[in-house]
Amino acid sequence: GGDSGTGSGGSGASGIVGKAEGQKKLVIGVKADQPGLGLQTGSQYEGFDVEIAKIIAKGLGVEEGNIEWKTTVSANREPFIQQGTVDLVVATYTINDERKQKINFAGPYFIAGQDLLVKADSTITGPEQLEGKKVCSVSGSTPAKRMQTEYPKAQLQQFDAYSKCLPLLENGQVDAVTTDDIILAGYAAQDQYAGKFKVVGKTFSEEPYGIGLKKEDKTGCEKINEILKAAASDGSYKAAWDKTLGKSGKAAPELDTTKLTNCGSV
Amino acid sequence: MTTGEPLIVLDSVNKWFGPLHVLDDVSLSVGRGEVVVVIGPSGSGKSTLCRTINRLEPINSGTITFDGQPLPAEGKALAKLRSEVGMVFQSFNLFAHKTILENVTLGPLKVRKEKPSVARERGLALLDRVGIANQADKFPAQLSGGQQQRAAIARALAMQPKAMLFDEPTSALDPEMVGEVLDVMTSLARDGMTMVVVTHEMGFARHAANRVIFMADGKLVEDAPPTEFFANPRSERAKDFLSKILTH
Amino acid sequence: MTTGEPLIVLDSVNKWFGPLHVLDDVSLSVGRGEVVVVIGPSGSGKSTLCRTINRLEPINSGTITFDGQPLPAEGKALAKLRSEVGMVFQSFNLFAHKTILENVTLGPLKVRKEKPSVARERGLALLDRVGIANQADKFPAQLSGGQQQRAAIARALAMQPKAMLFDEPTSALDPEMVGEVLDVMTSLARDGMTMVVVTHEMGFARHAANRVIFMADGKLVEDAPPTEFFANPRSERAKDFLSKILTH
Amino acid sequence: MSTSSVLYDHPGPRARIRNNVLSVVFGVGVVALLWWVYSKFDAAGQWEAVLWKPFTEPATWTQFILPGLWATLKAAAVGMVLSLVFGIVFAVGRLSDHWWIKVPAGAVVEFFRAVPLLLMIFFVFYGVPFLIQGPVSAFWAVVVGLTLYNGSVLAEAFRAGIRSVPGGQSEAAYAIGMRKSQVMQLILIPQAARAMLPIIVSQLVVLLKDTALGYIVAYPELLQRGVNDLAANKGNIVAAAMVAAAIYIVINSLLTALAGWLDRRSRTRGLRVPRQTRPAAAADSTPEGGATVSEPQG
Amino acid sequence: MHVFADPTNFDAYLSGFLWILKLTGASAVFALVIGVLLAAMRVSPVPVLRGFGAAWVNIFRNTPLTLVVFFCYFGLFSTLGLSLAEDLNLNNYWLGVIGLSVYTAAFVCEAVRSGVNTVPTGQAEAARALGLTFAQTLRIVVLPQATRSVVAPFGSILIALCKNATIVGTIGLMESSNVMKDLLNANGDAVIPIFLVFAGTFAALLIPTGYFFGWLANRLAVKR
Ligand SMILES: Nc1ncnc2c1ncn2[C@@H]1O[C@H](COP(=O)(O)OP(=O)(O)OP(=O)(O)O)[C@@H](O)[C@H]1O
Ligand SMILES: Nc1ncnc2c1ncn2[C@@H]1O[C@H](COP(=O)(O)OP(=O)(O)OP(=O)(O)O)[C@@H](O)[C@H]1O
Ligand SMILES: [Mg+2]
Ligand SMILES: [Mg+2]
């Protein structure tokens, strides 16, 4: 699949806006293994990220049926964008300067924060207590990197998916699982873990989730930001939340449209 | 039995394997329709001699002519020469993955590009001639040694060769099967095929050969009609060899 | 040449390979110092017969006794029996990773626990007896077939066996080497060794055997002194076999 | 059985008793160990119904396991065909008389045999797009990686196989006037393919297993869909892994059994190449090994 | 090459290959021991032992190594509670060694078994005909000859083992494939040089190993 975007420059017509207009199709990368955000259930994908992606596609004039979903993992998001494998990435994608070197970010559409998932009866209340403890995360992800640099005294167990961390937490081989709070909330809410875990609730970072696209595609980025602004005001943003993460009872956050990126303009 | 100019002529042929002088200035001519039996101790160069004639072994010096032409060195011409010289090996070397009939028709089909029906018909006739027509659809491994060797002879004959080379065709056989192969060979000889036969079967040499050649250490030591050779070998080497072979 | 009670006695021995009846009610006794030659067409069970005598093949029914004792089924006793029965194979089966002398002394050292010096001395004497003392330190692959087979005979003799079994000892050899092996066997026979010899060498059967046994389809068809057998075979099968083997 | 009789004698009565005692002791030991593992898993709650219930639901199979299996088989099948082609081409290349074919072919084969597949798939997926200025799908990353590695191994197997065909076979072919290419096509390659069948199939089993490395580029194969993604939905990762392992074992055992059957069949019939009723048309362009061996994957 | 000029990256590169070498070394020893034992079982006259050997070979040869390593982690460690070291990396290392060993042992077993099969029947028969016992036949005649024909397959198995060690990365050990993955992520502009350095290191380690085993096999080959 994905013959999109090759050689798309900064001018509007050849970026995602151009593609959406011309081909009425988009390839969007989402996570496949994160309950509540991007979870592949059979042939469908569901979650908040997926809903946001649908809103954007709609804003660009692409029908839901014409979206080609692609599974991405944390490690392959930049390459996917750079190589044109996908047009957009909406996959718990933290905006940071390092990544901005390679790609462009629209959004953020949500501000998450790194947090800890521990056993329901655990006494751990924050990352300071992790010294000498074992913590599980996903290799290549921002939370894993932050653990390594900021809390090097904790022992870090890395896997390719968070789903592998949970049985370890359950059996006591690791003391905590760390990543963004809403991802953790998604797992904690799963049936088979109900009541066993808790999210500590003390975030120790700010993770603004952005929408990744080609570095040159400034037009596309600006267009997406406009779509997000519209979504915040017309209620579709809240609807997306309520349909997914909102089910855990957490109220929909405000989408702060003043914080949207400048799409790389100096 | 010999008519006209000879079919195979070797002139001062030399061949080395590294330091080993395997054919030492060998000259020999074989007339059309002639049957020449080559004998000699192991390692004396009999097989090598045989194999130089269709250039399975290249030679280092000297010349070999076949049917008036020097042996071509490579390519189409060499392949053509080989298709005109049938060869039968000690270990049969039937193509293990093909049936007997396929073995026999493979050359006509692939080398001569004959029509399948023609090749098949001649193949069956040849299998009949060597007495194994009823085995046509079996695989080599399903046949006895004697049957395999007869199939190998039919395979060589299918190319309608001008001469046939036999390298110890019976020495891998159980004794009670030697006879059936020798019978086929004798009938071939009787029909006028030019043959060079390396063998230890002195009976065959006696009654089917026109000439017996004795080799030792790469040299062609004696060349005489069988009656003369067996009754009165001239060299010591030949006498010694015959005494070893005939007295047990 | 036979003295006292027989050394090897087979009584109504039957053996199947799956559905194949390879030994069909075979009874046979071999006296001390007797030389028995076994002949017969391929697949008739000659090798199997030979191998049952030192229990390389177990039998399905019947009894075999050696030197008055029934063959032991396993363990030390079986190993001891085997060390008393020398065996020589068609394909020599010298231990490829050991020198000729090591091959010959292995049994005495490891089975008989003899002193190295004693084993070595007798080993060299035996190699001398079979005419290859000068090859003692070579590896099997460096010897000619005839030399290898003589080494194999020396290896069997090194255990000072009461009887020797030979399974087609010369049929893998080049013709001019057959004689040297048969010579060693003939001299053994002359020295009074009890021998069972499967062979196609009719010369050897004629001049060295006390009895010739003809087998066909797992049955022991004839058992007669060689002169009688060759002059006047009683069964059709034997006549047919002899005619195939002797007339070329 | 025939292999074992090489080593030891037919057991006598005492040996049989000893063997039986050993059988019982060892058998009881193994069963005890399995029981211990079972009960430890039980204690850890691994047999709880909630973990296994998903496997009774059709959706688990139709949406996770079977699509994953299909992706696995698809990658394996394409990989098999391509590796066989690659293998034959490079084997013949290495046997060439011309150094300028032989040396590069050898270098390619040696290199790809030495580089871990994981690295290769990774590189094809992330590196090659920079070279070709276009995306490479996860499917092709997996297939190309598998082909380069397994093709190189097969090239060596074929080369060994071609060299293991008795010299007399090609001599006999030359003696009836065949050219070198004919000897290769009509005699050597078909026989090598027969002789190497066990090695070829075990390499194909390796290839099928190695599709599991596709997880690294998120190729949705059995391990990715049936274990990672399924467990993300149902939280039953150990159970899911057991089911996936069982599927791999069954498929690969079938493949191995098929190879054994083909091998035995060709042995009892001499060295038969199946589907070869038309000697005239056989093996003109397509190497026969390719078609016959990869058939079961279809 | 600027990527490897950075000492952090270079250290990661070195420690990645160090893990690979350590995994290979320890697993090779265990796999050899287990594999030979399994082969002994497979050629033994005791049906249960033969069955056990066969089952082992069939299970491990037919399961992806990724899954085997996975079971070592989630089965042995997480469920059965087999903890091999306090330190997380060390624990993962040993779990990886177990996985690689039991997996590779299946291949060692088959190599040894087919090595035994290359010894012609006649050799063992001749030994028995001399009166050597089962143990003597095995020790003096069969194994010395089998050993020599097993060298070349052992070489291929060792090479495969070394490459397979990268799979231990799935349970989080920072061996070279994981290091390469991280470096590639961080240096999208230097993808090809990074790959060439890692692949080249493996080639430099393994191609000579292959030639060494080929040479050894030739030297030890029994002339027949
Ligand atoms: N390809 C080869 N490379 C090296 N030496 C060879 C080769 N072929 C044959 N020889 C050697 O050349 C000599 C002659 O061999 P040749 O096979 O012609 O003898 P022969 O008379 O046919 O013997 P035999 O009766 O054993 O078949 C022998 O010493 C043999 O070892
Ligand atoms: N281990 C075995 N398993 C099954 N069948 C066997 C076995 N050994 C021999 N046979 C069969 O038993 C029959 C007798 O074999 P045997 O080797 O005793 O015959 P032979 O008379 O020695 O023949 P040859 O002259 O060919 O050596 C043959 O049909 C043979 O195929
Ligand atoms: Mg010869
Ligand atoms: Mg026999």
Mean of pLDDT values over A59-65? 88
State the pLDDT confidence band at C157, using cuts at 50, 70 and 90.
very high
Measuring CA to CA, which residue among B218, B220, B167, B227 is closest to residue B195? B167
Note whether C50 and C196 are within 8 A (CB): yes
pLDDT at A34 over 90: no
Candidates D63, D236, D238; nearest CB to A43: D63
The Cα angle at residue A119 between residues A115 and A123, in degrees rounded to 5: 80
Measuring CA to CA, which residue among B7, B40, B21, B20 is closest to residue B197? B40
Beta-bridge partners for B9: B29, B65
State the pLDDT confidence band at E224, using cuts at 50, 70 and 90.
low
Ramachandran region, residue B168 (left: φ > 0; alpha: ψ -120 to 50; beta: rest): left
C181-185, D246-250, E218-222: which has the minimum mean pLDDT?
E218-222
Q: For residues C9 and B76, what is the distance between their CA atoms, to the nearest angstrom?
A: 66
State the pLDDT confidence band at C182, using cuts at 50, 70 and 90.
very high
pLDDT tens digits, B152-166: 999 999 999 999 999
pLDDT at C133 over 50: yes
pLDDT at B11 over 90: yes
Q: For residues B92 and D34, what is the distance between their CA atoms, to the nearest angstrom?
A: 55
Q: Which pLDDT score, from 0 to 100, does residue A41 have?
A: 79
Q: For residues B119 and B207, what is the distance between their CA atoms, to the nearest angstrom?
A: 33
pLDDT at B24 over 70: yes
Beta strands B163-167 and C61-66 are unpaired
Better pLDDT: E81 or E30: E30
DSSP 8-state assignment for residue B21 = E
In a domain, E79, yes or no: yes
Q: Please list, in sequence order, all residues whose beta carbon lies within 8 angstroms of the beta carbon of residue C171, skipping any fewer than 6 positions away.
A: C90, C199, C200
CATH value at residue E107? 1.10.3720.10
Which of A163-167, B244-248, E106-110: highest mean pLDDT?
Answer: E106-110
Tell me which amino acid residue C118 is: V
B31-40, D228-237, E171-180: which has the minimum mean pLDDT?
D228-237
CB pairs under 8 A between B and D: 90
* Ligand 2 neighbourhood includes C47 CB (under 6 angstroms): yes
pLDDT at D254 over 50: yes
State the pLDDT confidence band at A44, using cuts at 50, 70 and 90.
confident
In a domain, E73, yes or no: yes
Q: What is the DSSP string of B42-55?
A: TTSSHHHHHHHHTT
pLDDT tens digits, C197-223: 999 888 899 989 999 999 999 999 999
* Ligand 2 neighbourhood includes C48 CB (under 6 angstroms): yes
Cβ atoms within 10 Å of C231's Cβ, excluding its own: 9
Better pLDDT: D23 or D273: D23
Mean of pLDDT values over A188-199? 81
Please give the residue range of the domain that contains residue E15: 7-220
Q: For residues D200 and D151, what is the distance between their CA atoms, to the nearest angstrom?
A: 10
pLDDT at A12 over 60: no
pLDDT tens digits, B106-151: 999 999 899 999 999 999 999 999 999 999 999 998 898 899 999 9
**Domains, chain D:** 59-269 (1.10.3720.10)
Q: For residues B183 and B188, what is the distance between their CA atoms, to the nearest angstrom?
A: 9
Mean of pLDDT values over D141-156? 93
* Ligand 2 neighbourhood includes C199 CB (under 6 angstroms): no
State the pLDDT confidence band at A9, using cuts at 50, 70 and 90.
very low
Q: Which pLDDT score, from 0 to 100, does residue C2 have?
A: 47
Q: Which pLDDT score, from 0 to 100, does residue A102 have?
A: 84
In a domain, E66, yes or no: yes
Q: Which pLDDT score, from 0 to 100, does residue B190 have?
A: 92
Q: Which pLDDT score, from 0 to 100, does residue D268 have?
A: 66
Mean of pLDDT values over E175-187? 85
pLDDT at A11 over 80: no
pLDDT at C75 over 90: no
Mean pLDDT estimate for chain D: 81
Q: For residues C10 and C30, what is the distance between their CA atoms, to the nearest angstrom?
A: 9
Measuring CA to CA, which residue among B107, B140, B111 is closest to residue B122? B107
In a domain, E2, yes or no: no
- Both tokens of B34, joined, read 């002639």
Candidates C79, C87, C93; nearest CB to E123: C93
Better pLDDT: A171 or D3: A171
pLDDT at D272 over 50: no
pLDDT at A112 over 60: yes
Read off the pTM.
0.84
Better pLDDT: C28 or E189: C28
H-assigned helices in chain B: 46-53, 75-84, 100-110, 116-129, 145-157, 175-190, 202-208, 226-231, 236-246
Q: Which pLDDT score, from 0 to 100, does residue C77 have?
A: 87
Cβ atoms within 10 Å of E152's Cβ, excluding its own: 20
pLDDT tens digits, B44-80: 999 999 999 989 999 999 999 999 889 888 888 899 8
Candidates E78, E89, E178; nearest CB to A171: E78
Mean of pLDDT values over E59-79? 91
* Percent of all residues in chain A with a pLDDT value above 70, rounded to a whole number: 93
pLDDT at C58 over 70: yes
Q: Which pLDDT score, from 0 to 100, does residue E36 have?
A: 92
Q: Which pLDDT score, from 0 to 100, does residue D109 have?
A: 93
Helices (H) and strands (E) in chain E, counts: 10, 0
Q: For residues E187 and A190, what is the distance between their CA atoms, to the nearest angstrom?
A: 37
Tell me which amino acid residue B54 is: N
Find how far residue B42's CA is from the centre of its chain.
17
Q: Which pLDDT score, from 0 to 100, does residue C3 have?
A: 56
In a domain, E190, yes or no: yes
* Percent of all residues in chain A with a pLDDT value above 90, rounded to a whole number: 21
Note whether C132 and C151 are within 8 A (CB): yes
Mean of pLDDT values over C18-32? 92
Mean of pLDDT values over A23-45? 86
Q: What is the DSSP string of chain A?
A: -----TT--SSGGGSHHHHHHHHS-EEEEE-SEETTTEEEETTEEESHHHHHHHHHHHHTT--GGGEEEEE--GGGHHHHHHHTS-SEEEEEEE--HHHHTTEEEEEEEEEE-EEEEEETT----SGGGGTT-EEEEETTSHHHHHHHHH-TTSEEEEES-GGGHHHHHHHTSSSEEEEEHHHHHHHHTSGGGTTTEEE-----S-EEEEEEEETT-HHHHHHHHHHHHHHHHHSHHHHHHHHTGGGGTPPPPP--GGG---TT--
Which atom in ligand 2 lies closest to the alpha carbon of residue C48? 18
Beta strands A207-214 and A176-180 are unpaired
Which amino acid residue places its CA nearest to atom 29 of ligand 1?
Answer: B43
Q: Which pLDDT score, from 0 to 100, does residue A148 have?
A: 87
pLDDT at C59 over 80: yes
State the pLDDT confidence band at D46, using cuts at 50, 70 and 90.
confident
Mean of pLDDT values over B77-102? 92
With both helix axes pointing from N to C terminus, report the angle between B100-110 and B145-157 in degrees, rounded to the nearest 10: 20
Q: Which pLDDT score, from 0 to 100, does residue A35 have?
A: 84
Mean pLDDT estimate for chain E: 90
In a domain, E1, yes or no: no
* Ligand 1 neighbourhood includes B245 CB (under 6 angstroms): no
Residue C165 main-chain phi, psi, to 5 deg: -110, 130
pLDDT tens digits, E127-166: 999 888 888 888 899 888 888 889 988 999 999 999 999 9
Mean of pLDDT values over C21-37? 94
Q: For residues C82 and A96, what is the distance between their CA atoms, to the nearest angstrom?
A: 84
Note whether E119 and E146 are within 8 A (CB): yes
pLDDT tens digits, D226-237: 888 888 778 788
Note whether E95 and E76 are within 8 A (CB): yes
> What residue has token string 């010894």?
E119
Tell me which amino acid residue A206 is: E
Note whether E71 and D241 are within 8 A (CB): yes
Q: How far, CA to CA in Å, does D112 sit from each of D86, E193, E200?
A: 12, 17, 10
Q: How far, CA to CA in Å, does C181 sit from each of A29, A173, C187, D268?
A: 82, 75, 10, 36
Q: For residues E42 and E48, what is the distance between their CA atoms, to the nearest angstrom?
A: 9
Find how far residue C211's CA is from the centre of its chain.
14
* Percent of all residues in chain E with a pLDDT value above 90, rounded to a whole number: 53
A55-59, A169-173, D259-263: which has the minimum mean pLDDT?
D259-263
* B174 contacts C245? CB cut-off 8 A: no
Counting as contact any 3 or more CB pairs under 8 A, the partners of B are C, D
Domain count, chain E: 1
Chain D environment of C17 (Cβ under 8 Å):
none
Q: Is B31 on the interface with D (CB under 8 A)?
A: no
- Both tokens of C33, joined, read 């110092």
Q: Is E45 on the interface with C (CB under 8 A)?
A: no
Residue C88 CB-density burial (10 A; 0-12 exposed, 13-18 middle, 19+ buried)? buried
State the pLDDT confidence band at A264, using cuts at 50, 70 and 90.
confident
pLDDT at D271 over 60: no
Chain A environment of D236 (Cβ under 8 Å):
192
pLDDT at C248 over 70: no
Q: Which pLDDT score, from 0 to 100, does residue E102 have?
A: 96
pLDDT at A2 over 80: no
* E78 contacts A168? CB cut-off 8 A: yes
| ipTM of this predicted structure | 0.82
State the pLDDT confidence band at D8, using cuts at 50, 70 and 90.
confident
- In the stretch 14-53 of chain D, residues with CB closer than 8 A to chain C read 14-15
A199-208, C180-189, D268-277: which has the minimum mean pLDDT?
D268-277
Mean of pLDDT values over C7-25? 93
Reduced to 3 states (helix: H, G, I; strand: E, B; else coil), residue B157 is helix
* C74 contacts D11? CB cut-off 8 A: yes
